[in-house]
């Protein structure tokens, strides 16, 4: 007979080892292995960012207003909010460049965007451009809200 090659862990059966490895694989695949659920939070925040910007591009300011923090909506009317957006700027698209969660308060995040826009020139043709925009988002009662700078 040839030499037997393998590992034997005292007190551990092969089924326990296999079961433990399966459990680790399931946790890794399901995302539970991510510390603090950061990946899930980032995905939830990205979805809210995209939904808000889709409403902005559609000029649906009633919908955009719904993304503002509850505190902002308590103190600022929809009419006030609508007056804050310049009609001469057409927001064509965004690209999320980075999301940075506050290490001291994970319910706060800074989001760096590239905004593609078109603006009517005062005396000339339309001006197209790209601008870097930084947004602040706050998680309140399990939902991400855009923090209006005004």
Q: What percent of the chain has pLDDT over 70?
A: 72
Between CA 123 and CA 134 the distance in angstroms is 29
Between CA 112 and CA 135 the distance in angstroms is 7
User: How much is the mean pLDDT over the chain?
Assistant: 79
In a domain, 22, yes or no: no
Between CA 80 and CA 71 the distance in angstroms is 15
DSSP reduced 3-state for 138? strand
pLDDT computed for residue 86 by the predictor: 61
pLDDT computed for residue 144 by the predictor: 98
DSSP reduced 3-state for 134? strand
In a domain, 140, yes or no: yes
In a domain, 106, yes or no: yes
Interval 30-86: pLDDT, tens: 444 445 555 799 999 999 999 999 999 998 999 999 999 999 999 999 999 988 876
Position with higher pLDDT, 18 vs 60: 60
pLDDT computed for residue 16 by the predictor: 45
In a domain, 133, yes or no: yes
Domain that holds residue 64: 37-146
In a domain, 27, yes or no: no
In a domain, 12, yes or no: no
pLDDT computed for residue 2 by the predictor: 41
In a domain, 141, yes or no: yes
pLDDT band for position 12 (cuts 50, 70, 90): very low
Count CA within 13 A, CB hemisphere, residue 40.
Answer: 11
Interval 101-113: pLDDT, tens: 999 999 999 999 9
- Alpha helix (H) ranges present in the chain? 14-30, 38-57, 61-65, 70-75, 78-82
pLDDT computed for residue 89 by the predictor: 83
In a domain, 7, yes or no: no
What CATH code is carried by the domain that includes residue 139? Answer: 3.10.450.50
pLDDT computed for residue 53 by the predictor: 95
- Structural domains of the chain, count: 1
């Amino acid at each position: 007979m040839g030499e037997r090659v393998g590992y034997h862990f005292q007190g551990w059966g092969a089924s326990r080892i296999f079961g433990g490895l399966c459990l680790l694989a399931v946790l890794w695949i399901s995302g539970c292995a991510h510390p603090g659920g950061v990946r899930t939070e980032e995905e939830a925040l990205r979805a809210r960012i995209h939904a808000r910007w889709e409403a902005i591009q559609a000029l649906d300011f009633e919908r955009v207003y719904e993304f503002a923090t509850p505190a902002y909506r308590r103190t600022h009317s929809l009419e006030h909010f609508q007056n804050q957006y310049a009609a001469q700027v057409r927001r064509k698209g965004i690209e999320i460049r980075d999301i940075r969660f506050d290490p001291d308060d994970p319910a706060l995040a800074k989001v760096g965007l590239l905004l593609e826009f078109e603006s009517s020139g005062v005396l000339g043709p339309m001006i197209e451009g790209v601008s870097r925009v930084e947004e602040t988002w706050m998680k309140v009662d399990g939902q991400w809200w855009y923090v209006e700078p005004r």
